[in-house]
A and B are shown apart, each in its own frame.
Chain A
C-alpha cells in the first residue's frame, strides 16, 4: 500500500467568528526546536487588529445584554469542548516543547478555569452590587457593567492556560475581546478558536490574532475604540508603552506580571471586576 501523506493544518486568525488569513499576506515561520518541523503562522497586522476591534464592538451590545445564565452556559460549553479535544491540544503542547505530564496539567487547569469563571458569570453581579442607604428619598443601587471592548496581550510563556486565564474573566463580565496570543507558543490559540467556534460563542466576542508583540503592542494600546487593555508580561518598556498609550482615551490598563497561570489559585472574581464599571442609579421613592 502506498504511504498516505498527512493533511497539515493551516493556522489562521479568528476575527468576527471567521477564520481569515492575515490581510497583510505575511507569515512567521514557527519551528519546533526538537525535530525542526515548521509551521507557518499568520503575522497579524494593524489592519487585522482594527478589523477585530470593529467585530468586537459590533458583538458588544449582543453579548453584554445576553443573560448571565446564557453567558455562564457558554463558558461552561467552552470547557466541555476543550475536554473533548484534549488529544489535539496535547499534541500541540508537546510540539511546543511541553512534557506530556505538564501538558496534561495545563489542559486540566484550562478546563477547570473555564468552569470556574462559567460559575462566576451569573454570580459576580451579586458580590459586586449594592443598595446604598442614601439619606434622601431615593432607592439607590450600584451594579457592575462591562467596560466594553478589551484588547489583551496574553502571556508569552504559555500557549493555552495563559490565553484561557485572560479571556475567560473578560468575557464572563460581558466584554468582548481582541487577544494577541503568545509569540513563542502560538499553536494552541487557533485550535482554541475552533473550540470557541463550536461553543455558541457569538462571532466577534473573542477575536484571536497571532503576530509580533513588538509590532502590535503599540496598536493594541493606542486604539481609540478600545476601553481597556490587559497586558501580561514584565517588560518595563512594554508596560510603560501600554500605560502611556492608555492615556489617549483613558483606557483602563490592567497589568499582570509574574503570574503562575498553572497555579490553581490564580483566579478570582476581582479579575472579572478589573474590566467592569460600576453604575449607580437613583430611583425616586414616592416623589
Chain B
C-alpha cells in the first residue's frame, strides 16, 4: 500500500476580511472618485476572480494629488515639530501591527504570494519599517555630520507588484520622517493593500495631503513623473522603466532614486555546508515565486560539488508545495499576472532554444489561475539570455566554476549589481568574495534577508540610492 504523505489543506480564513467593491483615490485625506470616472479591475491571480474595482487616476487626478501634497508640505508637514511628525509615523506602525493579519490575507489574495510569506515577512517588515523611520524624524541633525538635512518637498513614489505594501512602506516612511509629503502610485495588479493603508492613514489622523495614494498603470506613473511640481521621484521597478524616468526628468531639478532589476550570483564553494546551501538556493530563487529583484537567479557551484548540489536541489524542488497561496503550507504561490506568466514562459523557451537543459518539479498545477513550476537550467553559459537577463520568475540558471577568480569574473560580468550570495565555511573567503562582487547587498551563508536598518540598493544598472537604514534618509534630504 502506498502511503499518502501529502499535507491536508490548511487554508487561512478570509471571513474577517473586508475588501471594498469600489476603491477610490485617496487625495487630501479623503476617498474621492476619479475625474473621468474610470475604474479598472483587480483580480486574484490564484483563481482569476475579480476582487474589486479600483479608480484609475489620470493627469487631472495626479495634479489634484500633487496640489494636496504641496499644500500639506508648505502649510503643515515641513513646519511641524519633528518629534510630533515622528509620533504620527509611530502611530501608523502600531495600527499596521494591530491589523497585520488582515493586511497579510489581502496581500496574498491580490498578489498571489503564499500567506506564510505575507504573514511572516512582508507585513511584519512593513510595520518595522515605519517604526524604525519614525524615530529618525527628530534625530536628523545627528545623521549627517557637518551638514543640515532639509526636506526636498513633494515626492512622487512608484512601486512594483512583488512586495506591494512593503515597497509602500520603504517609500513612505523615510519620506515622512524627513519632512516630505508624498503621492504613492502602487502597481496596477496589486492596489488593494495600499488602499487599506490609506484607511490607516486616515485612522492615524495624519494631516490631509501628507500621504496621497492614487492608482493606475504606466500612464498614471508617467503623469506623476512629469508633473512640474514634484521635487523627487522614487521608483522601484524594471531597469527599462528606470532609464525612461531618468531620460524624462533630465534637465529638471528633480531628485531621484531608482531601485531596478537584478540578476544576482549565488556562489556555492565546495567547503560550504551543502544542505544549508541548498536551502539557501531554494530560498534565493523561489521566494515569492522568484518575483524578487534581488533573487539569486544565477547559481554558481564549484565543480567538485556540482553534481551533489544539483541532485539535492532537484530533490528539494520536488518537495516544494505549489498551490493555493492562502494555504499555510504553500511554499510557492501564484504568478502575479498573466503578463508575467507569459514573460516567464518566453524566457524558458529562449533557454531551451539556446541549448540549456531544463528540469522542472513534477508538481501538479491548479487549473485556474497563473502558475509556474519551479524550474532550473543547467548547460548554460555567460552568453545565454537566461543568464544575462532578469526573468522575475521561479527559473534558476546554473553554471559551474573552478577558482575564486573565475567565479568573481563571471559574477560581475553583467550590467546588474543589486545583490549576491556566498556560501563557504571560510570566513576569509566570504570577505574576499563579498568585497569583490560589485553589488549593493551581499548575503553570506544566507539569502534574501531584509531589515529596516539595513541599506538596500544597487550598483551599475540596478539603480542608484539606498533604501533602509541611515542611508535611506539621504534620498529625501538636501544637505546644506
Contact = CB atoms under 8 A, between A and B. Distances in A.
A243 interface: yes
A240 B455 contact: no
Contacts of A287: 445-446
Interface in B431-480: 434-435, 438-446, 449, 451, 453-457, 459-464, 466, 469-471, 479
A130 interface: yes
A278 B473 CA distance: 13
Interface in A49-89: none
A130 B439 contact: no
Interface stretch (A19-27, A192-200, A211-219, A245-253): A245-253
Interface stretch (B203-211, B244-252, B309-317, B348-356): B244-252
A189 B68 CA distance: 51
Given A239-B251, A278-B440, A133 B453 contact: yes
B250 A244 contact: yes
B366 interface: no
> Which secondary structure dominates chain A's binding surface?
mixed
Interface in A127-153: 127, 130, 132-136, 138, 140, 142, 145, 147-148
Contacts of B462: 250
Nearest to B440: A279
A277 interface: yes
Given A142-B455, A282-B454, A246 B246 contact: yes
Contacts of A136: 449, 451
Contact of A132 (B247, B438, B453): B453
A181 B434 CA distance: 36
A280 B446 contact: no
B444 A135 contact: no
Nearest to B273: A287
B415 A282 contact: no
A213 B131 CA distance: 49
Contacts of A138: 446, 449
A31 interface: no
Contact of A280 (B430, B435, B440): B440
Contacts of A278: 440, 455, 457, 466, 471
Interface in B209-251: 239, 242-244, 246-247, 249-251
Contact of A250 (B144, B258, B441, B442): B258
Contact of B464 (A236, A241, A250, A281): A250
Nearest to A252: B464
Given A142-B471, A244-B251, A247-B247, A134 B451 contact: yes
Contacts of A147: 459
A145 to B, nearest CB: 8
Contact of B454 (A134, A148, A243, A270): A134
B402 interface: no
Contact of B247 (A133, A244, A268, A277): A244
Given A130-B470, A243-B246, A252-B464, A140 B440 contact: no
B251 A236 contact: yes
A249 B449 contact: no
B251 A250 contact: no
B451 A135 contact: yes
A268 B449 contact: no
B145 interface: yes
Contacts of B440: 277-280
A127 to B, nearest CB: 6
A142 B441 CA distance: 9
B147 interface: yes
Most chain B CB neighbours (cut-off 10 Å) among A140, A239, A241, A280:
A280
Given A127-B145, A249-B461, A282 B250 contact: no
B274 to A, nearest CB: 15
B195 interface: no
A248 B463 CA distance: 12
Contact of B455 (A268, A269, A280): A280
B246 A135 contact: no
Contacts of A247: 243-244, 246-247, 250
A136 B145 CA distance: 28
A281 B251 contact: no
A256 interface: no
B468 to A, nearest CB: 8
B65 interface: no
Contacts of B332: none
Nearest to B463: A250
A74 B451 CA distance: 39
B147 to A, nearest CB: 7
B251 A243 contact: yes
Nearest to B422: A281
Contacts of A236: 251
A176 interface: no
Interface string B122-157: 000000100000000000000011110000000000
21 contacts: A127-B145, A130-B469, A132-B451, A134-B451, A145-B435, A148-B438, A239-B251, A244-B246, A247-B244, A247-B246, A250-B461, A250-B462, A252-B464, A268-B146, A268-B147, A278-B466, A278-B471, A279-B440, A282-B449, A287-B445, A287-B446
Given A241-B250, A270-B147, A278-B457, 5 more contacts: A132-B451, A138-B449, A242-B250, A250-B242, A282-B441
Ranked 4 nearest A-B pairs via Cβ: A240-B251, A243-B250, A247-B246, A134-B451
Interface of B: 128, 144-147, 239, 242-244, 246-247, 249-251, 258, 260, 415, 430, 434-435, 438-446, 449, 451, 453-457, 459-464, 466, 469-471, 479
Interface of A: 127, 130, 132-136, 138, 140, 142, 145, 147-148, 227, 236, 239-244, 246-250, 252, 268-270, 277-284, 287
